[in-house]
Structure 1
Amino acid sequence: PTNNFKSKSTKNFQSNNKTTTGSKKNQQKRPTLKPTNKESRKLNLTKIIDQENQEFDKFPSLAKLKRASEKERIKTEESVEEDKIIKEIIIPEIITVQELANRMAEKTAGVVKTLMKMGVMANATQSLEADTAALVATELGHNVKLVNEDDILKEIEDKKDNENDLIKRAPVVTIMGHVDHGKTTILDAFRNSNVVSKEAGGITQHIGAYQINKNDKKITFIDTPGHEAFSNMRARGSKTTDIIILVVAADDGLKPQTIESISHAKAAKVPIILAINKIDLPAADPDKIRNELLNYEIIVEKLSGDVLDVEISALKKTNLEKLENAIHLQADLLNLTANPKRSARGVVIESKLEKGRGSVATVLVQKGTLKVGDIFVSGSEWGKVKALINDRGENLKEASPSQPVEVLGFDANPLAGDDFIVVDNENRAKKIAEYRSKKKLQKKNTVIKTNVDEMFKQISKGEETFIDVIIKADVQGSAEAIESSILKLSTEEIKTRVVFKGVGAITESDVALANSSKGFIIGFNVRAIPQAREIAKRDGVDIKYYSIIYELIDD
């Protein structure tokens, strides 16, 4: 039995083995990369190469792939070129890569690639100058139109008014003079109200603008806190004043601020009316003042000049009508007119932030009629007129030329002396305000050229023929000696003008005057106070210090 079992099992094993070997024979041979030959167990190079060829024939070669991709690219480029719309691209002075790509309707990556070819490494957020952007656009097959962004400002340029639309307007009068000589008291007397008592220590803290109306004859008064504000307005290019009333106290004579006021009035080329105040005091001597003014080339009518002068007492309200008549007479000579039938333009006299009202600005309307609801631009701010309030606190629907009003509706505080222009729509107002604030920021980040650099640049072009100088010395004698020496330096092409000379340290007022008259300051044995130095640095006003007069003249 055992033999039987053995023979059975071997039979089974053999039959199983046969079937497996048979099935193996039927199966296809798989290509293999085994390098050895079973029989010889040696490497067979021919076999390896054949087998490798079998494997790699399934994949295209690298060259074949390259050719195919190149073919595809040319094909797509041709189709894109057929569809590509050639645009006229408007390029401003500075544009980001992203914005340029959007304007050309190109992919940002394509623009960056083109820039790289030109040797400029820039990412999507970086800014390009107009020339570079133009080259990129041309490279990508677009037409280029370079615009100067100042074109935005052309929309708000002032137009000349039609002669037939012009009507007479009230004169705008600024009262100037030394501290405590009675400037605000004169205003009080005109307005029959008490402003002085509201002011701290009787000194005007901020500019007030008021309008008086007697016998249908209006006068607008601007009460300035000293002349810095007046000069700053002039430096920003706004001519606000038609007539300056120079107030001198009859008992006190000419004081440093009075002389400064004269310099500011002359630099602004505005007619002066002399008001000799406090004539009710026993020590009053008006003739002494008239004679003192001759030193500053102010010759009153009494001494056969052309400056009107009135002796008044603001406290006793003496001769105020005479002063009023003098203003009207001067205004008639100036023939002041404005067109009320146009969109309003004006100037910001002061601005402040008030609780519950937001940014409030006092605006002097110069042309046109300002209405509630008007959209305006002022400096780098914009807004919509929510309310107009006059100097007596009454709400108005509209404001006519030469009328000062408080305007509510600014998005932020404008600066004194900023323009105030009514525009058609919000979009335009935003654009102009954005452009101006961007320019302001660029100006802040660029190196400020000093007035002297600018002046020599203009002289070399043959434009400027005057050099304006402000002299501050330690003693009056030095100031006069320097003035005469400087005036002798004038040539036929270039004239030197001494705008102001005085004694003492260089103050903010001197810097403001130098900035508005585009001149520079000479300090002889004196220094500038820290605040004045800061303002001079900010505005690019040159201050030159000397201690030897010959060094000064050599310079």
Structure 2
Amino acid sequence: MSKIRIYELAKELNIPSKKLIELLQEEFGVKVKNHMSAIEEEDADLIKEFMEESEEKGGENDKKSHKYRSKDESTGESNKKGNRKREKNLKDKDSEKTVKIEDTITVKEFSDKIGKPSTEVIKQLIFMGVMAAINDEIDFNTAQKLGEKFDITVLKKEKNIDREAVEQQEEEEDDDINLEKRPPIITVMGHVDHGKTSLLDAIRKSNVIATEAGGITQHIGAYTVTINGQKITFLDTPGHEAFTAMRARGAQITDIVILVVAADDGIMPQTAEAISHCKAADVPIVVAINKIDRPGANVDKVKQELIDYDLVPEDWGGKVICIPVSARTKEGINTLLEMVLLTAEMQELKANPHRNARGTVIEARLDKGRGAVATLLVQNGTLHVGDSIIVGDTYGRVRAMFDDKGKKIKSAGPSIPVEILGLSEVPEAGDRFHQVKNEKTAREIANKRKQKVREEHLQSAHKVSLENLYNQIKEGKVKELNIIVKADVQGSVEALKQSLQNLSNEEVKVRVIHGAVGAITETDVTLALASNAIIIGFNVRPDINAQNAAEKEFVDIKTYRVIYNAIEDVKAAMLGMLEPDYKEVVLGKAEIRQTYKISSIGTIAGCYVIQGKMVRNAKARVIRDGVVVFESELASLKRFKDDVKEVAEGYECGLSIDKFNDIKEGDIVEDYTMKEVRKKQL
């Protein structure tokens, strides 16, 4: 990572090196020895943003001083003569007291410099027409006028770059002294269903696959394991091609990649993509040839295919380590881990745990009870509970921190993944985080970044849906397809955005105008209406207000449980091939008020029907905090002790979901049916 010297940054910011060193220590907690020391460009960018924010505040003080000047100039000719006489007397006095200040100074600092009570200084400012409290900043012009009131000359500090440049001292990097060995960060990559999560499962001796829909990893995860007394951090990235962006992010923050290739399948398109990401990030690759216990497994065939991608196996005269393994029988796992540790040892991975923390957001989501929850990977420094951090365009103070096993911890050093609470909003997956001095500094930088992001919204006269998209493209009404993406976690939002935008062609450009975590809300429908957009939900559902608004305004909402179904539908709509035979019709919604566990039956839910009607044997889905947690059908429906066919809106009922007992109070049960529709002639 490139670095910049203190004196070069000071010159760029037009401030003295000494002032910059003080700023680094006071506001950002970064200690540097002298002007020849170097800091990383990420820290430099943070300082630039902070300085720009300070200059904007200075501009506001300029306006205040301008008001003062206007008022002062209108007080008459006699005052002007008196001022000129006073200025002459001040210049004539050799023993006159002078103070030097920067471009801005707080009222308290100014009163300390001139040796006057702060109350007296504030009083004079009020007479000048400037309302400022003890901790407010005043600009140089205001300070100069204020100095005249106390017979003090106020001068601006000269920026003596030449004097600073001659203070040559032998540079000794602060980081070099404090560098310590850190655990390697390993990313597991490969094609879908080649056994990446199963391999991690064998290493961690726990079952991750059970939490994933259809056995396909949908979200990125980070886990720390201890092997032979050494810690290793693993990142598990999804294998489907739609998650290219998530895989790319994994490659950029990792030290070593374990490329999983099935011995009975060979290199597939997603495997080739993973290889490209690793090469672009210049990351060492260790190939795990998985499923060697399967009939038809051919290790040599896989090695031959690797050569086509310039990955020559070590036993064939190359440099790439290839280990045959079986996640099921655990054969070769220990050898694989030994090779990973050996590769890490060759890299001499080090970090400085004594500096302010910084790293990357692995995953982020909105939790109903805990607010914004983010999984962070600390890459340098140590993060503590209570630290203030800036994450992309959001900020916060770390209220609580948990390790990958859910245990509360107080601090996390380099290469350790943690889940934190306390952020103001849900950050973007892949955002960089930095620890700063306090929450005020973090908030100022976050607000500045936010202002840069707020800009778009396209207006169009024709409402668009996937069903009529092709016709509107043919008629020339649609040149751009605007899409709003909502999903259960940020990583899925990112993946959908990337994949949908890649569908753009010569006739129509696909633009994702908004992507966020959580249920589809009325605000999303309003945005879709204003932007002539369609809404795509992944693992989330619209709330009642959003559904009503969408029906009223004819805004198209499509929801999916598998990400590539969404991509295929949009692609088919653009080609004019989307002609659905069935349409989902929502019958009603019921809120679970109480649950009862009956040993012979399972969990029974006491519900109140809030919309439509509940129909026995209808298809049903359980929605928790806007996210679909299970899909099945209504196994039973009762009013008091009687079985009934349906229960209307406004009535209470008891129901059970087929093959699902993890019902909780506050969940929403939505029942629906599939209605056959006649094919449209395009």
Coarse TM-score class (shorter-chain normalised): 0.5 to 0.7
Partner of 1:189: 202
2:179 is equivalent to residue 166 of structure 1: yes
Tell me the SS of whatever aligns to 2:293. coil
Offset of 1:74 from its aligned partner?
Answer: 2.6
2:511 corresponds to which of 531, 534, 546: 534
- Give the Cα separation in 2 of the matches to 1:186 and 1:175: 9
Tell me the SS of whatever aligns to 2:218. coil
- Give the Cα separation in 1 of the matches to 2:85 and 2:330: 87
TM-score (norm 2): 0.45
Offset of 1:274 from its aligned partner?
Answer: 0.6
Partner of 1:336: 349
Offset of 1:309 from its aligned partner?
Answer: 0.7
TM-score (norm 1): 0.55
2:374 is equivalent to residue 361 of structure 1: yes
Offset of 1:231 from its aligned partner?
Answer: 4.1
Partner of 2:78: 75
- Give the Cα separation in 1 of the matches to 2:178 and 2:426: 33
Cα displacement string for residues 287-322 of structure 1 (whole angstroms, at most 9, x for unaligned residues): 111111111111111221111110001111111001
Offset of 1:357 from its aligned partner?
Answer: 0.7
Offset of 1:106 from its aligned partner?
Answer: 8.3
Partner of 2:418: 405
With over 3 angstroms needed to count, the CA separation of the structure-2 counterparts of 1:537 and 1:362, relative to structure 1, is closer
2:311 is equivalent to residue 307 of structure 1: no
Contact kept? 1:89, 1:143, Cα under 8 Å: no
- Give the Cα separation in 1 of the matches to 2:74 and 2:391: 60
Tell me the SS of whatever aligns to 1:396. coil
Partner of 1:430: 443
Structural RMSD (CA): 4.4
Partner of 1:257: 270
Q: Which has the larger radius of gyration?
A: 1
Offset of 1:342 from its aligned partner?
Answer: 2.1
- Give the Cα separation in 2 of the matches to 1:356 and 1:350: 18
Amino acid at match of 1:75: S
Tell me the SS of whatever aligns to 1:162. helix
Offset of 1:258 from its aligned partner?
Answer: 0.7
Where is the helix percentage greater, Structure 1 or Structure 2? 1
Offset of 1:81 from its aligned partner?
Answer: 6.4
Cα displacement string for residues 412-459 of structure 1 (whole angstroms, at most 9, x for unaligned residues): 1111111121112222222222222233347x69xxxxxxxxxxxxxx
Offset of 1:240 from its aligned partner?
Answer: 1.2
- Give the Cα separation in 1 of the matches to 2:242 and 2:345: 29
Contact kept? 2:192, 2:238, Cα under 8 Å: no
- Give the Cα separation in 2 of the matches to 1:511 and 1:294: 33
- Give the Cα separation in 2 of the matches to 1:511 and 1:71: 60
Amino acid at match of 1:203: I
With over 3 angstroms needed to count, the CA separation of the structure-2 counterparts of 1:437 and 1:228, relative to structure 1, is farther
Contact kept? 1:189, 1:317, Cα under 8 Å: yes
With over 3 angstroms needed to count, the CA separation of the structure-2 counterparts of 1:511 and 1:268, relative to structure 1, is farther
With over 3 angstroms needed to count, the CA separation of the structure-2 counterparts of 1:511 and 1:301, relative to structure 1, is farther
Q: Where does the alignment leave 5 or more consecutive residues of structure 1 unmatched?
A: 1-69, 92-102, 109-132, 135-141, 148-158, 446-507, 516-520, 539-555
2:286 is equivalent to residue 273 of structure 1: yes
With over 3 angstroms needed to count, the CA separation of the structure-2 counterparts of 1:529 and 1:246, relative to structure 1, is farther
Offset of 1:89 from its aligned partner?
Answer: 5.3
Offset of 1:375 from its aligned partner?
Answer: 1.4
Tell me the SS of whatever aligns to 2:511. helix
Amino acid at match of 1:252: D
2:302 is equivalent to residue 289 of structure 1: yes
Partner of 1:98: none
With over 3 angstroms needed to count, the CA separation of the structure-2 counterparts of 1:88 and 1:510, relative to structure 1, is same
State the percentage of identical aligned residues.
Answer: 45
With over 3 angstroms needed to count, the CA separation of the structure-2 counterparts of 1:187 and 1:412, relative to structure 1, is same
1:415 corresponds to which of 421, 428, 442: 428
With over 3 angstroms needed to count, the CA separation of the structure-2 counterparts of 1:89 and 1:338, relative to structure 1, is closer
Tell me the SS of whatever aligns to 1:394. coil
Tell me the SS of whatever aligns to 1:364. strand
Tell me the SS of whatever aligns to 2:311. coil
Amino acid at match of 2:397: K
Contact kept? 1:233, 1:416, Cα under 8 Å: no
Partner of 2:361: 348
Offset of 1:83 from its aligned partner?
Answer: 8.1
- Give the Cα separation in 2 of the matches to 1:183 and 1:345: 28
- Give the Cα separation in 1 of the matches to 2:507 and 2:173: 44
Tell me the SS of whatever aligns to 2:307. helix
Where is the strand percentage greater, Structure 1 or Structure 2? 2
Offset of 1:527 from its aligned partner?
Answer: 4.1
Partner of 2:622: none
With over 3 angstroms needed to count, the CA separation of the structure-2 counterparts of 1:344 and 1:238, relative to structure 1, is farther
Partner of 1:373: 386
Cα displacement string for residues 76-98 of structure 1 (whole angstroms, at most 9, x for unaligned residues): 4445667899997569xxxxxxx
- Give the Cα separation in 2 of the matches to 1:373 and 1:426: 10
With over 3 angstroms needed to count, the CA separation of the structure-2 counterparts of 1:252 and 1:107, relative to structure 1, is same
- Give the Cα separation in 2 of the matches to 1:509 and 1:292: 28
Amino acid at match of 2:366: L
Amino acid at match of 1:266: K
Offset of 1:350 from its aligned partner?
Answer: 0.8
Contact kept? 2:400, 2:422, Cα under 8 Å: yes
2:340 is equivalent to residue 327 of structure 1: yes
Choose between structure 1 and 2 for higher RCO, CA contacts under 8 A separated by at least 6 residues: 1
Partner of 1:213: 226
- Give the Cα separation in 2 of the matches to 1:71 and 1:381: 46
Tell me the SS of whatever aligns to 1:187. helix
Q: How many residues align?
A: 347
With over 3 angstroms needed to count, the CA separation of the structure-2 counterparts of 1:438 and 1:321, relative to structure 1, is same
Amino acid at match of 2:388: I
Contact kept? 1:231, 1:264, Cα under 8 Å: no
Tell me the SS of whatever aligns to 2:427. coil
- Give the Cα separation in 2 of the matches to 1:339 and 1:87: 36
2:253 is equivalent to residue 248 of structure 1: no
With over 3 angstroms needed to count, the CA separation of the structure-2 counterparts of 1:436 and 1:160, relative to structure 1, is farther
Tell me the SS of whatever aligns to 1:534. strand
Tell me the SS of whatever aligns to 2:76. helix
With over 3 angstroms needed to count, the CA separation of the structure-2 counterparts of 1:106 and 1:348, relative to structure 1, is farther
Q: Where does the alignment leave 5 or more consecutive residues of structure 2 unmatched?
A: 1-72, 91-99, 106-124, 131-138, 141-153, 160-171, 458-493, 516-682
Amino acid at match of 1:168: K
